[in-house]
């Protein structure tokens, strides 16, 4: 039986695909989900996944150009965070291949582990992409919140 989620709160932010904004995205998500009182491990997992998603958009989505990245973060009941990182960059021609560990289009300095890391730190990962139109990465994680109800 599928879990039915109810949206409790959300925010959306748009920022340029500059490397400096990767840290901003991580910090913004961490500050927003603090209202669920996540554990430090959960906070670290979410921050790492966001870092990977935003870095992918910067490095692969726009390559050597600057474009916009839109990030939407939703708090869902029961105790779940959903993060969508979207770009309107070059898109991914073969999502299955891009999800393979160690595959990269970013050159020798890239590990090719971005999607693998996102998948390992979050409960679910969905990637939608169209060549020439951009990519949207949706991640969800259920938190073992310490809030008192």
Residues 57 and 136 sit within 8 Å (Cβ to Cβ): no
Q: Cα(62)–Cα(100) distance, rounded to whole angstroms?
A: 21
Q: Which of 21, 22, 42, 56 is catalytic?
A: 56
Tokens encoding 77: 């009941």
Give the chain's domain count.
1
Domain-located, residue 147: no
* pLDDT tens profile 25-64: 999 999 999 999 999 999 999 999 999 999 999 988 998 8
Whether the bond between 70 and the residue before it is cis, its omega within 30 degrees of 0, is no
Domain-located, residue 112: yes
Is 110 one of the annotated active-site residues of the chain? yes
Q: Which of 99, 110, 128, 142 is catalytic?
A: 110
Domain with 88 in it: 6-142
Q: What's the pLDDT score for residue 110?
A: 53
Residues 102 and 112 sit within 8 Å (Cβ to Cβ): yes
Q: In the 8-state DSSP scheme, what is residue 133?
A: T
Is 56 one of the annotated active-site residues of the chain? yes
Domain-located, residue 61: yes
Q: Which of 22, 42, 52, 82 is catalytic?
A: 52
Residue 29 is part of a domain; what is its CATH number? 3.30.565.10
Whether the bond between 78 and the residue before it is cis, its omega within 30 degrees of 0, is yes
Q: Cα(16)–Cα(25) distance, rounded to whole angstroms?
A: 11
Is 126 one of the annotated active-site residues of the chain? no
Q: What is the average pLDDT score of the chain?
A: 89
The helix/strand/coil state of 114 is helix
pLDDT tens series, the chain, 149 aa: 677 899 999 999 999 999 999 999 999 999 999 999 999 999 999 999 999 999 999 988 998 899 999 999 999 999 999 999 999 999 988 777 777 665 565 555 555 567 888 999 999 999 999 999 999 999 999 998 655 44
Q: What's the pLDDT score for residue 149?
A: 40
């Amino acid at each position: 039986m599928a879990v039915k989620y109810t949206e409790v709160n959300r925010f959306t932010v748009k920022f340029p695909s500059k490397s400096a904004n990767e840290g901003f995205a991580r910090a913004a998500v961490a500050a927003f989900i603090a209202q669920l009182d996540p554990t430090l491990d959960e906070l670290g997992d979410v921050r790492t996944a966001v870092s990977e998603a935003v870095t992918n958009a910067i490095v692969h989505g726009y390559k050597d150009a600057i474009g916009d990245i839109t990030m939407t973060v939703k708090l869902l009941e029961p105790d779940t965070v959903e993060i969508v990182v979207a770009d309107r960059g070059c898109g991914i021609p073969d999502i299955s291949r891009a999800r393979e560990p160690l595959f990269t289009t970013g050159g020798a300095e890239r590990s090719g582990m971005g999607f693998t890391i996102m998948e390992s730190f979050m409960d679910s990962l969905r990637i939608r992409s169209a060549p020439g139109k951009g990519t949207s990465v949706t991640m969800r994680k259920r938190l073992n919140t310490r809030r008192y109800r």
